[in-house]
């Protein structure tokens, strides 16, 4: 059974991991992650979840203290689509063998060609409409269009480049000058394609590509992401891949990450506008997945490590529990995955998959009925320890204590399977000791020779 499953999942994981488009989207998002986390820190300081905090800060730094912090988060989250277009274009060009930086710039320009640059609904006193790029098109609502623009524009660029339709400069010309001329014709083709596309879309009822993508693609995918089954499927497949020694999130994020990112940014946009009183639209976000699905890494193995630490009788599990508890608190569990091992271990398979799915399901229900609040959408490092992560992601101690409840529930689920494994290891250790004792008993003084 396990062999058949491995034969099916192995090739799928390999194909997903080697697909250049998926690599570009996944790694493009990863490049922008430090900026998002950095901006989230400023946002968290601006909206720290303690009653009276805002008034305390205002008494020290003045009434406008939060405006300065808001400039950092605004410069990042309001331009999220634009940032990711550059990052995805850069990675995809690199994967195809083109110059990464040129790919990123071509992707950005292509995206901006499709973006509205005049807004007739906003006019000045002279009756002239506002000209410029609106934040509403460059943030989370433009993410899907940005991804498509980055992939298509770089693909056109690379195809033209590989056909040899480039201007080649003579030897001796500085490399940067040669690169600029070399990119001229491929970039022109990409820009021309999106120019014609803009004209084509303007002739439809949608008028702009942003509106078309939002209605045709983004809204249906967001609807899928809001279904309760979506986070359950993500947890199930992420954990299943881990069981076969494959980094589960690295595989599943290539498919799920674009949807999760937009859901997260939707919550963040509302939170930026209304603060702690915001009515957040989505339950499932990136931080919800990080902090209510797994504790101690894939498979929520912090519960298993606690079992090893306090209830193990075999030396192997005792030692592994002592070594794994600190990394586990910070969400690192490779020592358990490969040291227990969890990989291809049929005894631990059931709780390893069941506990994260149970956690995310109960977390979803608890949020849906209002027991715990929804996550803000702020990016908090996934290594943030349990309790603190729940509190910072939601601003509520209820969520922090709910995490503890899930951790204890995980211990109860892991325990019977852990005992089977512990008994097995204890017997192996006992047999090993008896074997060593027997060998010592067989030694006799008559066996000693001085020849």
Q: Write the pLDDT tens digit of every residue in 206-251.
A: 888 998 988 888 888 888 888 999 999 999 988 988 888 777 887 7
What tens digit of pLDDT does each residue of 270-288 get? 888 887 778 899 999 988 9
Q: Find all residues with CB under 8 Å of 217, minimum gap 6, and list them.
A: 144
What tens digit of pLDDT does each residue of 344-394 get? 888 888 999 999 999 999 999 999 999 999 998 888 888 889 999 999 899
Distance between CA atoms of residues 249 and 241, nearest Å: 8
Distance between CA atoms of residues 433 and 441, nearest Å: 12
DSSP character at residue 121: E
The answer to whether 166 and 182 have CB atoms below 8 angstroms apart is yes
Classified as helix, coil or strand, 345 is: coil
Q: Which of 258, 271, 290, 269 is nearest to 84 (CA)?
A: 258
Peptide bond before 341: cis, by omega within 30 degrees of 0? yes
423 pLDDT tier (thresholds 50, 70, 90): very high
308 pLDDT tier (thresholds 50, 70, 90): very high
Distance between CA atoms of residues 251 and 91, nearest Å: 17
293 compared with 378, residue with greater pLDDT? 293
Q: Which residues pair with 131 in a beta bridge?
A: 118
pLDDT at 5: 64
pLDDT at 51: 78
The answer to whether 215 and 325 have CB atoms below 8 angstroms apart is no
pLDDT at 447: 56
**H helix or E strand, kind and range, residue 130:** strand 129-131
Tracing tokens 């005894």 back to the chain, one arrives at 347
Classified as helix, coil or strand, 119 is: strand
What tens digit of pLDDT does each residue of 16-34 get? 778 899 889 888 888 888 8
Q: What share of the chain is helix, strand, coil (3-state, %, to 5)?
A: 75, 0, 25
Percentage of the residues of the chain whose pLDDT score is greater than 90: 41
pLDDT at 1: 61
Q: Residue range 72-87: average pLDDT?
A: 89
The answer to whether 134 and 121 have CB atoms below 8 angstroms apart is no
pLDDT at 435: 65
Residue 430, classified by CB atoms within 10 Å of its CB into exposed (0-12), middle (13-18) or buried (19+), is exposed
pLDDT at 136: 83
Distance between CA atoms of residues 138 and 76, nearest Å: 10
68 pLDDT tier (thresholds 50, 70, 90): confident
pLDDT at 207: 86
343 compared with 94, residue with greater pLDDT? 94
The whole-chain average pLDDT of the chain stands at: 87
The answer to whether 88 and 25 have CB atoms below 8 angstroms apart is yes
Q: CA triplet 424, 426, 428: central angle to 5 degrees?
A: 70
Tracing tokens 């967001």 back to the chain, one arrives at 222
Q: Which residues pair with 146 in a beta bridge?
A: none
């Amino acid at each position: 059974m396990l062999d058949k499953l491995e034969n099916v999942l192995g090739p799928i994981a390999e194909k997903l991991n080697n697909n250049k488009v998926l690599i570009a989207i996944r790694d493009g998002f990863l490049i922008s992650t430090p900026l998002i986390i950095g901006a989230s820190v400023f946002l968290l300081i601006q909206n720290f979840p303690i009653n009276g905090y805002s008034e305390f800060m205002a008494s020290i730094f003045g009434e406008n203290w939060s405006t300065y912090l808001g400039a950092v988060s605004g410069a990042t989250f309001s331009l999220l689509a634009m940032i990711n277009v550059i990052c995805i274009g850069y990675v995809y060009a690199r994967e195809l063998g083109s110059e990464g930086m040129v790919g990123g710039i071509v992707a950005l320009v292509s995206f901006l060609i499709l973006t509205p640059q005049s807004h007739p609904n906003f006019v000045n006193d002279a009756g002239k409409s506002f000209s410029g790029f609106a934040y509403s098109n460059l943030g989370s609502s433009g993410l899907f269009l940005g991804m498509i623009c980055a992939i298509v524009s770089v693909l056109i660029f690379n195809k033209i480049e590989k056909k040899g339709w480039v201007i080649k400069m003579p030897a001796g010309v500085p490399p940067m000058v040669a690169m600029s001329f070399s990119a001229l014709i491929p970039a022109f083709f990409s820009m021309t394609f999106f120019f014609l596309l803009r004209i084509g879309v303007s002739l439809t009822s949608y008028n702009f590509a942003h509106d078309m993508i939002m209605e045709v693609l983004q809204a249906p995918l967001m609807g899928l992401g809001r279904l309760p089954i979506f986070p359950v499927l993500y947890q199930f497949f992420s954990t299943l891949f881990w069981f076969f020694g494959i980094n589960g999130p690295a595989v599943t994020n290539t498919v799920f990450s674009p949807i999760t990112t937009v859901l997260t940014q939707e919550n963040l946009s509302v939170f930026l506008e209304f603060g702690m009183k915001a009515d957040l639209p989505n339950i499932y976000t990136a931080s919800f997945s990080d902090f209510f699905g797994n504790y101690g890494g894939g498979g929520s193995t912090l519960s298993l490590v606690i079992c090893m630490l306090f209830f193990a009788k075999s030396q192997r599990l005792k030692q592994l529990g002592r070594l794994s508890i600190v990394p586990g608190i910070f969400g690192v569990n490779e020592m358990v995955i490969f040291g227990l091992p969890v990989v291809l271990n049929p005894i631990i398979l059931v709780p390893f998959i069941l506990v994260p799915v149970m956690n995310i399901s109960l977390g979803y229900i608890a949020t849906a009925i209002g027991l715990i609040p929804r996550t803000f959408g702020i990016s908090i490092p996934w290594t943030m320890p349990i309790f603190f992560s729940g509190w910072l992601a939601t601003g509520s101690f209820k969520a922090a204590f709910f995490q503890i409840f899930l951790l204890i529930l995980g211990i109860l689920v892991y325990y019977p399977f852990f005992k089977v494994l512990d008994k097995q290891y204890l017997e192996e250790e006992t047999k090993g000791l008896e074997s060593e004792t027997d060998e010592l008993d067989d030694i006799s003084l008559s066996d000693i020779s001085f020849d």
